[in-house]
Amino acid sequence: MTWTLTEANPKNYPRKFLVLLDAVRQYNDNIDNDIPLLWKAFQFAQNAHMGQFRRSGEPYFEHVYNTALILTDLSMDTITLCAALLHDVVEDTAISEEIIAEEFSPTIAFLVKGVTKIGGIKFNSEQEQQAENFRKMLLGVAEDIRVLIIKFADRLHNMRTLGSLPLVKQRRIAIETRDVYAPLAHRLGMYRLKMEMEDLALKYLEPRIFNFLEKKISAKREELEAYINNFTGLIDKKLRENGIEAVIFGRLKHFYSIYNKMKKQNKPFEEIYDVLAIRVIVNTVAECYGSLGYIHQLFKPIPERFRDFIANAKSNGYQSVHSTVIGPGGKLIEIQIRTHEMHKKAEVGIAAHWKYKESKDNDDSLDKHIQWLRDLVDMLKSDSANESDFMETLKIDLFKDEIFVFTPKGDLISLPKGSTALDFAFAVHTEIGLRCIGAKVNAKIVPLNTELSSGDQIEIITSANHSPSYNWLKYVCGNGTMKWDIRPWIFFIRLWERGT
């Protein structure tokens, strides 16, 4: 190293570091023990990226610093914050993963490596199924839930600063964010993050619509605010009179969901009535139902829109009572009532309420894995968790029977674990399998029986007058579970054998 790191000493801390510390203090009482490590990562990243600039002209360090700041919003631990500060060091500077492991810890190096690995995978398809496969693959490749969480923060900051990139890149990144990252964040219950990602994606993918909505809403903002203040005021008063102390937030639904409503119902903005929503946070479950009753006394509910996710918690743990009422002037207002504990879970990424809004997805196996991931996030946040215990459980063994690989065009193909290059050829097309004479994995020529791993890109070399070899039967792991039909192929081999 050509630079020296200064001791952890409050006199040395620049303002930026103090801001970061302040943010961590909001949720971590033990920050004092962690300061030396965090301070080291801060300086290390600053030095490593010295002289590098983003397209916007800002020093590169701004990006990694802001990524870490976003993670404080999600109450992430110090290890994760350090990894966030260092997340682009291996990719963009001469510093290796080994150096990070030595200077910091193997865990931090492992997280940085994971983020680097995910960063190398690019999504470039507008097909829904591809997006779903891609989301699965991210989970598979991430190996550790924290890798994914850092990646979300990294992506959010890149989205916030997308304006300075060329248009083509803006589009690609925005599509990837909308189709892959936002739905994944939604499933992990990282609701705030998801909404911001979606709004930013809309801004870059449909700038005219975004500007239109922004104008409409800002023109009505005062009116909407006055309306919601009046509405929440009435509810607050009623609850107080009945001895219920509640925290009530009014909120405007985010642009992307308003836009989706306009599209789905084919209605102009003026006819979308339920752009307003409120949350009522109370102390106990009994108060949730009590508040519901009092609110229904004030405003008429729409019976079809009533949902009790407290009595019937979702399989992912989400709990709240939802009701839509007719507010003053006939406006529809969605109300979510929950306890503080339920609220905290729903906000910071434990409870995802994805099922009822993302009805398109009903992949149960993915749901199960997500539940498991969510439990991990839970553990990650609990103070009582024992470090080595949860390091063990943090290893993601999702989809352990499945791998995800790419065609040269970047299409994603999922195969059973243990699949070879030859399996891949048949998975793409029987004809390609039959005519296959060789394969390149990640641009290197390899034998056809080479076992593939997730993230590999495979190119199959074919020849029009080639026929399959009997030996191939030994290489394919197809045993009836494969997606393609292997029978014509065996038939072909027999024919071919008879012919020679």
CB of residue 285 vs Mn ion: minimum separation in angstroms?
A: 42
* One-letter amino acid of 210: F
CB of residue 110 vs Mn ion: minimum separation in angstroms?
A: 17
Give the interface size with Mn ion as a residue count (CB under 5 A). Answer: 2
Residue placing its CB nearer to Mn ion in the complex, 154 or 198: 154
Q: Is 222 a catalytic residue?
A: no
CB of residue 72 vs Mn ion: minimum separation in angstroms?
A: 17
Of 173, 171, 193, give the one whose Cα is nearest residue 183. Answer: 193
Closest residue by beta carbon to Mn ion: 154
Greatest Cα pair distance, the chain, in angstroms, is: 93
| Cα-only R_g, the chain | 26
If residue 344 lies in a helix (H) or strand (E), which one and from where to where? helix 340-348
CB of residue 58 vs Mn ion: minimum separation in angstroms?
A: 13
Stretch 121-160: interaction string toward Mn ion, x if CB under 5 A: ---------------------------------x------
Q: Rounding to the nearest 10 degrees, give the CA dihedral for residues 332, 259, 134, 375.
A: -30
Residue placing its CB nearer to Mn ion in the complex, 119 or 455: 119
Q: Is 91 a catalytic residue?
A: yes
CB of residue 71 vs Mn ion: minimum separation in angstroms?
A: 12
Going by their DSSP bridges, the two strands 332-339 and 276-282 should be labelled as parallel
Residue placing its CB nearer to Mn ion in the complex, 54 or 344: 54
**Which range binds Mn ion by CB under 5 A, 83-91, 300-308, 405-413, 427-435?**
83-91
The alpha helices in 163-284, defined as continuous H runs, are 167-176, 182-187, 191-205, 207-241, 255-265
Q: How far is CA 321 from CA 102, 188, 310, in A?
A: 50, 20, 6
Residue placing its CB nearer to Mn ion in the complex, 88 or 132: 88
Residue of 71, 88, 134, 255 interacting with Mn ion (CB under 5 A) = 88
Q: 301 pairs with which residues across the strands?
A: 325
Residue placing its CB nearer to Mn ion in the complex, 91 or 225: 91
Of 46, 34, 36, 38, give the one whose Cα is nearest residue 3. Answer: 46
Residue placing its CB nearer to Mn ion in the complex, 88 or 334: 88
* One-letter amino acid of 277: A
If residue 448 lies in a helix (H) or strand (E), which one and from where to where? none
**Which range binds Mn ion by CB under 5 A, 2-10, 81-89, 457-465, 467-475?**
81-89
Stretch 279-308: interaction string toward Mn ion, x if CB under 5 A: ------------------------------
| Active-site residue identified among 77, 92, 206, 375 | 92
Contacts for 93-98: CB closer than 8 Å, 24+ residues apart: 93/48, 93/49, 93/52, 95/48
Interaction of residue 199 with Mn ion, rule CB under 5 A? no
Of residues 368 through 397, those in contact with Mn ion by CB under 5 A are: none
**Both tokens assigned to 484:** 């393609």
CB of residue 426 vs Mn ion: minimum separation in angstroms?
A: 37
Interface residues with Mn ion (CB under 5 A) are 88, 154
Task: Indicate which residues carry an active-site annotation.
Answer: 91-92
